[in-house]
Structure 1
Amino acid sequence: MLKLGLIGKGISRSQSARLHVLLGRMCGIDVTYDYLDSEKIADFDLIGQLTACAKDGYAGVNVTHPYKTAARKLIQRRKRLPEALGAVNTVVFREDGWRGDNTDYVGFMRGYRGQFGDQAPGTVLQMGAGGVGLAVAFGLHGLGADRILIHDKDADRGHELVATLKAGGANVAFIAEADLSDAIRNADGLINCTPVGMNQYPGSPIDAALLGGQKWAFDAVYTPVETAFLHSAQKAGLSVMTGFELFFFQGIEAFEVFSGTQIDGDAARVEYFNAYPEALTG
């Protein structure tokens, strides 16, 4: 039995449990996956919850909003996690201590390569500097992006991400609102790491009139999979990558860390869509 869970706030709509249970079934492993929602736990405390999970026999847990940064400060990183990447979304409990990883980071790179092959990211404009934005931006750096341009309505948060990326060696700059339209038009790639486009936040973070001439687009939103942003990008001739790819590959990466197994991504995709065909559209 592999006991897993997810720690976060307002996580009732997460699809992580069904993905991890399915991956376990593919490997012949019985998996349980619990949602540990801080909104439903009295006097919630992250270190206390992690300690309780370790004592209760969990092999590991995923950590999501708003606790990824706090988890990074508590947990020794794994070797593949960039030193400057200040967020952890996967915690493994070992006898010799807890280990942290960020599978959003490696999952984004794996999804990008699967979708776009060896195509270089080029100059990329990213909307959003929150937790997933942090991981995706480091993924862009790992993929060899020429330049990363960050915009966030919270300028302080945007500048903080820029400083973090610079500390990691990236060529990066913050884009103010006044310069945003030109940056979008001149970019090779466009990324949405804001909640805009989710079922509860409909719309697109980028005006469709600015699309055309760029090469590719990615939307971290995966509920729905077919977002207004990606629909407009595809209509304008861009190649697109959906948020499902990030969800899927970060989940596979996390399961591999938890279980010590290797997952055939193509086989897992077939199994998942056979079991949950609605995931194709969100």
Structure 2
Amino acid sequence: MNANAPLAASRPALYLLALLGKDIQGSLSPQLYEHEARRQGLRCSYQLLDFAQRGWEAEALPNVLRSLETLGFTGCNVTHPFKQQIIPYLDQLSPQASAIGAVNTVLFRHGQRIGHNTDCPGFISHFRRNLPGVNIERVLQIGAGGAGSASAYGLLEYGVKHLALYDRDTARSEALYQQLLLHFGSDRISITHHPQQALANSNGLVQATPIGMSGHPGIPINIDWLTPQHWVADVIYVPRETELVLRARAKGCQAIGGDGMVVFQAAQAFELYTGLPADREHMLAIFQQACVTPA
């Protein structure tokens, strides 16, 4: 079976979907998927399974997956902190998910759990759309978890000449470095233990840690390290504009949040779930409307 194959022509009467993660009550995924499904004449119910809210530990992950399968779910999305933890409980990975080493979309098909990564193309589509023409010769990325794995792979595939990785958890940055070495030359990737110096030698910054998202307030770097010559891309979308993005713009930097990334990755995941093309502009409009007037 081709792990990338979309759903066959016979479609379920109801698409049951869920998001697995912690502190995800601000997620707009239900609106994105349910509105796009309704636009296409489909029935869809999207549930937030917030491990923090429900008091579940990470060890519950395999039982949650088993329950979703038993209940007839089409699949589920996966967010922080489970994008890498979920892999041992899957039967197959798409080629891109395998290369990245992280999963954000799981399909339940014919008794198999198939992991995909739509974060990577979602991030690059958003980056290309909102930071066109920026210098990508040298980039510093902070954060080497699930989202960081996708953005790092996407940046190198997109053409970044050198990517420096920093994570407070050095084992995590080392693991991502080794994963990327399987696909890109060692001259294009490095680990830094001195983010201030690395940023001074970089054209832009990718922020891929949870710091700044709802439930994890703050800013992950010293804002004085940024100059107007830097661009900034934050993968966080709740809040839509993090403190880092706002303060970077105040310093004269081009800076984007993760709103487009979440919409574009959701659009590709929708296509995997349904086998139908998603209207990305419509989903962007739904996202923007939901940010102004939450459902």
Q: TM-score, normalised by structure 2?
A: 0.84
Structure 2 counterpart of 1:254: 269
> 1:143 is matched with which residue: 128, 150, 158?
158
> 1:116 is matched with which residue: 113, 131, 134?
131
Structure 2 counterpart of 1:77: 93
CA 1:233–1:278 in structure 2 vs 1: closer, same or farther (change >3 Å)? farther
Are 2:82 and 1:67 aligned? yes
SS of equivalent residue, structure 1 residue 6: strand
> 1:174 is matched with which residue: 187, 191, 196?
191
Structure 2 counterpart of 1:99: 114
Are 2:235 and 1:220 aligned? yes
Structure 1 counterpart of 2:141: 126
Are 2:178 and 1:163 aligned? yes
Are 2:29 and 1:13 aligned? no
Amino acid in structure 1 at the alignment position of 2:72: G
SS of equivalent residue, structure 1 residue 24: helix
Instruction: Tell me the distance in 2 between the aligned counterparts of 1:10 and 1:223.
Output: 11
> Shift of residue 64 of structure 1?
2.2
SS of equivalent residue, structure 1 residue 125: strand
Paired residues in the alignment total: 276
CA 1:112–1:67 in structure 2 vs 1: closer, same or farther (change >3 Å)? same
**Larger relative contact order, structure 1 or 2 (CA cutoff 8 Å, min sep 6):** 2
Structure 1 counterpart of 2:41: 28
SS of equivalent residue, structure 1 residue 48: helix
Q: Which runs of 5+ in 2 are unaligned?
A: 1-13
CA 1:119–1:263 in structure 2 vs 1: closer, same or farther (change >3 Å)? farther
SS of equivalent residue, structure 2 residue 232: strand
Indicate conservation of the 8 Å contact 2:94/2:115, yes or no.
Answer: yes
Deviations 1:31-79 (A, max 9, x none): 1012234453778633332232223211111122332223223231124
> Shift of residue 150 of structure 1?
0.9
CA 1:126–1:51 in structure 2 vs 1: closer, same or farther (change >3 Å)? same
Greater alpha carbon shift after TM alignment, 47-56 vs 167-176: 47-56
Instruction: Tell me the distance in 2 between the aligned counterparts of 1:165 and 1:128.
Output: 14
Greater alpha carbon shift after TM alignment, 140-149 vs 92-101: 92-101
> Shift of residue 97 of structure 1?
2.9
Instruction: Tell me the distance in 2 between the aligned counterparts of 1:197 and 1:97.
Output: 36
SS of equivalent residue, structure 1 residue 70: coil
Deviations 1:6-50 (A, max 9, x none): 223343332221221122122221110122344537786333322
SS of equivalent residue, structure 1 residue 83: helix
Instruction: Tell me the distance in 2 between the aligned counterparts of 1:127 and 1:190.
Output: 8
* Identity score, percent: 33
Indicate conservation of the 8 Å contact 1:120/1:144, yes or no.
Answer: no
> 1:264 is matched with which residue: 279, 282, 288?
279
Amino acid in structure 2 at the alignment position of 1:172: I
Greater alpha carbon shift after TM alignment, 164-173 vs 183-192: 164-173
Instruction: Tell me the distance in 1 between the aligned counterparts of 2:228 and 2:152.
Output: 22
> 2:169 is matched with which residue: 141, 154, 157?
154
Q: Which runs of 5+ in 1 are unaligned?
A: none
Amino acid in structure 1 at the alignment position of 2:46: Y
Structure 1 counterpart of 2:218: 203
> 1:184 is matched with which residue: 191, 199, 222?
199
Instruction: Tell me the distance in 1 between the aligned counterparts of 2:273 and 2:144.
Output: 28
Greater alpha carbon shift after TM alignment, 258-267 vs 39-48: 39-48
Amino acid in structure 1 at the alignment position of 2:27: S
Amino acid in structure 2 at the alignment position of 1:29: L
Instruction: Tell me the distance in 1 between the aligned counterparts of 2:74 and 2:267.
Output: 15
CA 1:150–1:24 in structure 2 vs 1: closer, same or farther (change >3 Å)? same
